[in-house]
Structure 1
Amino acid sequence: MTRPARRTRRTLQWTGVGVAALLALSACSSSDDSASDAAGSASASASADATPKLSGTVTVFAAASLKESFTTLGASFEKAHPGTKVVFNFGGSDSLAAGITGGAPADVFAAASAKTMAIVTDADDAAGTPATFVRNQLEIATLPGNPDKVATLKDLTDSDLLVVLCDKTVPCGAAAQKALDAAGLKLTPVSYEQDVKSALTKVELKEADAAVVYKTDVKAAGDKVEGVEFPESADAINDYPITLLKDAPNAEAAKAFIELVRSAEGRQVLTGAGFIQP
């Protein structure tokens, strides 16, 4: 064999070795990438499994003044978590607290005052420390057009007016009494109602000339009533606390609902209804 022929043969041999090596490296790289992709998929799957899908019913006991806002947030929660349902029990905070301490099954309690929330915490029925999520201020609700020309809290002491208050054991009633005390006024209403919506309804049905309720309730009533602000209401602003209940049947979903209430979306809904941020 001639020298040039030997050189050509060696060159082909080395070229073959190089191609084989490159193919081997490519195969290893492909195998490593596949292993990495598989590991990543397994990690993502594990992460998804770590966040359980919410389902079932969330039972929320909430102050009557939260009805419109919480109903909106409940619908939003159900849309975000298919398979869940939010059931509300709206009423006077004191009655709701009594129900909870009496064993009524519930997941969340949102009260219209720290005092009524204390009924639940003192009975050791709250899971953790309640958090204040909004505040509310009083306003006088009159008939549309304010035919009796009510301009001040003192005007409600006119014996010719039919005035309704919330019961003193209910947060809106306790706040109204605090405002009256701050103004040095005494008022004898034609009736004491068990929650703020009941007091407002008396005016809406023209069974009363005026009622002391929350600004949020006046706003929710639209043109059915007219609101009159009064300075003494600044001395009787109520904090609204919310808590997960100790024996909550659906604790995980309940926590998620509370997170929604305290989120930016929740704040937007609540402030839009007239509540004040704490």
Structure 2
Amino acid sequence: MRAALAVLPMVAALGLAGCGGGTDDGGKGETGGITGTVTVFAAASLTGSFTTLGRQFEAAHPGVRVTFNFAGSSALATQITQGAPADVFASAAPKNMATVTDAGAADGSPTVFARNQLVIAVPKGNPARVTGLADLTRPSAKVALCAEQVPCGAAAARALDAAGVQLTPVTLEQDVKGALSKVTLGEVDAALVYRTDVRSAAAQVDGVDFPESAGAVNDYPLVVLKDAPNPTAARAFVEHVLSDQGRAVLTGAGFQPPTGS
């Protein structure tokens, strides 16, 4: 099988409504196998690991196509509650998942499948010699943060409060990949992003740990959506994320296992 994996912008995701994303039998073929398209709306910080999981899922289920819409969790939650067609939602924080569940758009209760912790991303070699949050308050420091409605921004606000640090970022980004790109492009001296994002860009950035991040760890929940066009494939994809194989991909990317697992 030639695996087909697409990362969809919102326009393409909306277009799936008229493209027959699932099959008439809910994604279950005549032989009982999983078929059709499964559309996953996932937090931007999941781009690398979920792309890998999607390829694995396609390889295990010939005839299935996994498509993704990666963006900030708050934007994805809004898209879902406004009727965008999707099968699975994976959020970078419970708050944004609650937007979906409170609107009655989830099929069942969400499951926390991973956790993620903030680090300070700096250009390779750390030219500004950043060692902690206090260094980000220097008058010359250029810092990127995520907007507070985005999970990485909310976590950053908690960490800064815990450290008693106030700073004025030069930019507020709508997802963590946007904040990280400011570092990789050399536009800022530092950004507060997830450990997983620093690992994925290890050739371009270094990560600086700081103790206050321990109090700003985000839980990542996922759920099958109530109006999923392909509910059978959606449930199978969620099972794959929660499997030992899925856990190995996530921990390899730098995610922490859920509490109690």
Aligned to 2:158: 178
1:139 pairs with one of 105, 116, 119 = 119
Q: Aligned runs of 1:50-65 on 2, under 5 Å?
A: 52-65=32-45
What is the Cα deviation at residue 187 of structure 1?
Answer: 1.1
Q: Secondary structure at the match of 1:72?
A: helix
Q: Distance in 2 between matches of 1:235 and 1:187?
A: 19
1:113 aligns with 2:103: no
Q: Distance in 1 between matches of 2:41 and 2:70?
A: 6
Aligned to 2:209: 229
Aligned to 2:75: 95
Aligned to 1:43: none
Aligned to 2:14: none
1:264 pairs with one of 234, 244, 260 = 244
Residues 147-186 of structure 1, C-alpha deviations (whole Å, 9 max, x = no match): 1110011111112011000000000000000000011111
What is the Cα deviation at residue 51 of structure 1?
Answer: 6.9
Q: Distance in 1 between matches of 2:215 and 2:239?
A: 30
Q: Secondary structure at the match of 2:120?
A: strand
Q: Secondary structure at the match of 2:109?
A: strand
CA 1:87–1:239: 2 relative to 1, 3 Å = same
Q: Distance in 2 between matches of 1:140 and 1:169?
A: 19
Which has a greater percent of helix?
1
Equivalent AA in structure 2 for residue 126 of structure 1: A
What is the Cα deviation at residue 127 of structure 1?
Answer: 0.3
Q: How many residues align?
A: 230
Using the size of structure 1 for normalisation, the TM-score is 0.82
Aligned to 2:55: 75
1:275 aligns with 2:260: no
1:249 aligns with 2:229: yes
Residues 15-73 of structure 1, C-alpha deviations (whole Å, 9 max, x = no match): xxxxxxxxxxxxxxxxxxxxxxxxxxxxxxxxxx9971111110000000000000000
What is the Cα deviation at residue 223 of structure 1?
Answer: 1.6
Write out the 4+ residue segments of structure 1 that deviate beyond 6 Å after TM superposition.
Answer: none
Note the residue ranges of structure 1 that are not aligned, 5 or more in a row.
1-48
Q: Distance in 2 between matches of 1:95 and 1:51?
A: 38
Note the residue ranges of structure 2 that are not aligned, 5 or more in a row.
1-28
Q: Distance in 2 between matches of 1:118 and 1:50?
A: 36
What is the Cα deviation at residue 222 of structure 1?
Answer: 1.5
Q: Secondary structure at the match of 1:223?
A: coil
Aligned to 2:130: 150
Aligned to 2:109: 129
Among all aligned residue pairs of Structure 1 and Structure 2, give the percentage whose two residues are the same amino acid. Answer: 63
Residues 181-238 of structure 1, C-alpha deviations (whole Å, 9 max, x = no match): 0111111100000000000001000011110000000000012001000000001000
Q: Distance in 2 between matches of 1:157 and 1:250?
A: 49
Q: Aligned runs of 1:188-203 on 2, under 5 Å?
A: 188-203=168-183
Equivalent AA in structure 2 for residue 264 of structure 1: D
Equivalent AA in structure 1 for residue 47 of structure 2: K
Q: Distance in 1 between matches of 2:247 and 2:30?
A: 28
1:218 pairs with one of 179, 182, 198 = 198
2:187 pairs with one of 203, 207, 210 = 207
